[in-house]
């Protein structure tokens, strides 16, 4: 069956006129395929997209681009690393998830916003560069950092490529 053989009625796709008017049942679950993302099994791509808070097309594009691989956590290019307790985290969200006591009775989203605001302020004051993961790759000629498990190795490469500039001058340090 080709795309031209399909019928669209009220935004729903049918294989035949009989399906469209309800004379034949539509196949539904037989086309579903389980998918595993970050060690979590979902009954379908649609269910995975819903659970991850992503549009289905975005999830499909990431799967096609191989940016979602079983067991690996994806990092967003605009994420900005932050120091806390002497450790560099890939983003404010990663920092907070690893240190839940910092969230207290606030929502994690509000805390992420607050940390990112503090980092932007420090950048405006000229205290730090506040580079995103994409900017790190571009500015220092490093490979793109796409997964959490690549982050530490990339930071080691970054430390070797910046001449005498301590990393805490590049990224925000939360006390």
Give percent above pLDDT 70 in the chain: 80
On whether the CB atoms of residues 91 and 82 are closer than 8 A, the answer is: yes
As to burial, measured by CB atoms within 10 angstroms (0-12 exposed, 13-18 middle, 19+ buried), residue 68 is buried
Instruction: Please enumerate in sequence order all residues whose Cβ is within 8 A of that of 112, keeping only pairs 6 or more positions apart, or say none.
Output: 91, 92, 93, 96
Most confident of 17-21, 40-44, 136-140, 158-162: 136-140
Rounded to whole angstroms, how far apart are CA atoms 80 and 48? 26
3-state SS string for 23-38: CCCCCCHHHCCCEEEC
What's the pLDDT at 117?
93
Angle between helices 56-64 and 45-52 (to 10 degrees): 110
Q: Is the dihedral of CA 129, 135, 137, 139 positive or negative?
A: negative
| pLDDT single digits (tens) 99-149 | 888 888 888 889 999 999 999 999 999 988 888 888 888 888 888 887 777
32: pLDDT strictly greater than 70: no
What's the pLDDT at 2?
46
What's the pLDDT at 113?
92
| pLDDT single digits (tens) 62-88 | 776 665 555 567 777 788 888 888 888
Rounded to whole angstroms, how far apart are CA atoms 58 and 52? 11
First to last CA, the chain: 61
Q: Give residue 3's pLDDT band: very low, low, confident or very high (50, 70, 90).
A: very low
| pLDDT single digits (tens) 38-66 | 667 777 778 888 888 888 888 877 776 66
Angle between helices 148-161 and 133-140 (to 10 degrees): 40
């Amino acid at each position: 069956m080709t795309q031209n053989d399909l019928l669209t009625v009220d935004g729903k796709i049918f294989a035949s006129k009989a399906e469209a008017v309800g004379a034949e049942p539509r196949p539904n679950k037989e086309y579903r395929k389980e998918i595993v993302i970050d060690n979590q099994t979902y009954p379908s791509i649609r269910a995975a997209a819903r659970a991850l808070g992503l549009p289905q097309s975005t999830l499909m594009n990431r799967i096609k681009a191989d940016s979602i691989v079983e067991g690996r956590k994806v990092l967003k290019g605009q994420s900005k690393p932050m120091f806390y307790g002497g450790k560099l985290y890939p983003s404010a969200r990663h920092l907070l998830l690893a240190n839940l006591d910092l969230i207290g009775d606030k929502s994690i989203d509000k805390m992420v916003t607050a940390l990112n605001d503090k980092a932007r302020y420090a950048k405006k004051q000229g205290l730090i560069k506040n580079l995103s993961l994409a900017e790190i790759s571009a500015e220092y000629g490093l490979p793109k950092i796409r997964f959490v498990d690549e982050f530490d190795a990339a930071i080691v490469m970054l430390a070797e490529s910046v001449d005498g500039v301590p990393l805490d001058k590049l990224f925000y340090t939360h006390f």
